[in-house]
Structure 1
């Protein structure tokens, strides 16, 4: 299969469930994010609320857990936590999570927190040395001006720069959701900084394709 629409093999194929939770589970199977280690291993971080953020290793061929008995690691816990992603930089794995409430327009309380670890499986500590499993989390980005509830950090390179993308709610536009992109930089201790705003996305109305 390919995602090139011009190719005859274009299309998605359902290979089944990677992970699932139900009303009896101690966490939610939402917000998956994939990370590749410098050695080429694939891992998936996901989860929200209750016992928090989880991680397990993936089989690069199937896209599923590398083996049925492969462990699931707990990385971070908070009463309101989700939207995790992991970014590798200069010998550390940085775990980004959201605290607070999403999806409430200008009443959203989302803010992005971070901790780091030498190992992808943790422990992840914040700038003050507090484990994210014990409520730690250094603030990276909070509501600022008319940009309310920033969340769901993701990272990508462009023209030799590291960029941080996230969504937020615009108090100047009736609380509509928008995309923000900032330059990502690092302080002398190796902690990430959300730099100047590069761009904010325009509104794209939802469409449906049957």
Structure 2
């Protein structure tokens, strides 16, 4: 080997490693493609393709065949086809939707999404249905709405189809915290609109709940802190668990999430700033989840990330094998 060849091979090896070791020191493939995302939904597989949805005009869609390379799909709603009720709930939004979640029920998909004015309670969670994840979405109207003076803000839905067949939706942002309501499996809407949603978590700065069921436990992930400030965002993810989906949810120290408790789950670790909106992969393995973060190496732009669950012997989750954007993926990304 020549004196020049060896340094060249070393340089090439280091460059290759940079593409696969950009997350928590793990040998995992960095994500590639169109990674513009904020508030990702659960990842759902249809055929051999994975789909997720996120905040944006018309509601952004993404798809991947390998969970590494991602492409942008057509938005759920065309700009001139916003459901009429959205303008009544939040005048002036003009087709900008937040923080969706998607579940499969039978042979159809249900997509829950938020309509709101930033920092206000003039909000609602809507529902759309389709037989396919990439086309044909039909709006089903309002699931729950909030107005000034209500104890909750009706955004950030997370839907759980529990092992007993019951359907639940956690939601909420700031105000009196995260709330829970039961859904009717037949319609995807509230089972009893007269039932006051139950508060299951509260803190000064809280939003973005995620429900997860595993081995007899129900887990509630929430974000504390502030989003949408690029590298100045203070988002972090905490978790509690309960034997009942209705709660009470407690952290490792036994502190109720309704009193500001929560075990640390995911926090800033440069260049990953302000991680948020935990979104499980809904397939037979269920070993991964998505989230967004603000890229400290790319002017704080919001991007998609994936990670794997690691479970302790006593049933508490941690994140491992975190996959961030490849260093050469530097594209503009929207925030709320």
- TM-score for the superposition, normalised by structure 1: 0.89
Secondary structure, counterpart of 1:19 in structure 2: strand
1:108 equivalent to 2:204? Answer no
Aligned to 1:178: 303
Residues paired across the two proteins, number: 204
Q: Which gives a bigger RCO, structure 1 or 2 (Cα 8 Å, sep 6+)?
A: 2
Gapped regions of structure 1 (runs ≥ 5): none
Q: Distance in 2 between matches of 1:106 and 1:204?
A: 16
Aligned to 2:215: 90
Larger Rg: 2
1:136 equivalent to 2:136? Answer no
1:41 equivalent to 2:166? Answer yes
Query: How far did 1:161 drift?
Result: 5.7
Aligned to 1:200: 325
Query: How far did 1:187 drift?
Result: 0.8
Q: Is the 8 A contact 2:237 2:276 kept in 1?
A: yes
The runs of at least 4 aligned residues of structure 1 exceeding 3 Å deviation read 1-6, 157-161, 198-207
Aligned to 1:66: 191
Query: How far did 1:173 drift?
Result: 0.6
1:187 equivalent to 2:312? Answer yes
Secondary structure, counterpart of 2:159 in structure 1: strand
Q: Distance in 2 between matches of 1:55 and 1:43?
A: 7
Q: Is the 8 A contact 1:81 1:97 kept in 2?
A: yes
Deviation string 1:72-104 (CA, Å, 9 cap, x unpaired) is 111000010000011011110000000000010
Q: Distance in 2 between matches of 1:13 and 1:32?
A: 18
Q: Is the 8 A contact 1:147 1:168 kept in 2?
A: yes
Aligned to 1:18: 143
Q: Is the 8 A contact 1:161 1:183 kept in 2?
A: no
Q: Distance in 2 between matches of 1:150 and 1:206?
A: 15
Gapped regions of structure 2 (runs ≥ 5): 1-128
Decide which of 256, 276, 286 is 1:151's aligned counterpart: 276
Query: How far did 1:4 drift?
Result: 3.6
Q: Distance in 2 between matches of 1:4 and 1:15?
A: 16
Secondary structure, counterpart of 1:16 in structure 2: strand
Q: Distance in 2 between matches of 1:116 and 1:110?
A: 20
Deviation string 1:125-171 (CA, Å, 9 cap, x unpaired) is 00000000011000001000111000000111568461121100001
Q: Higher mean Cα deviation, 194-203 or 40-49? A: 194-203
Q: Distance in 2 between matches of 1:47 and 1:2?
A: 25
Query: How far did 1:176 drift?
Result: 0.7
Secondary structure, counterpart of 1:200 in structure 2: coil
Query: How far did 1:203 drift?
Result: 5.9
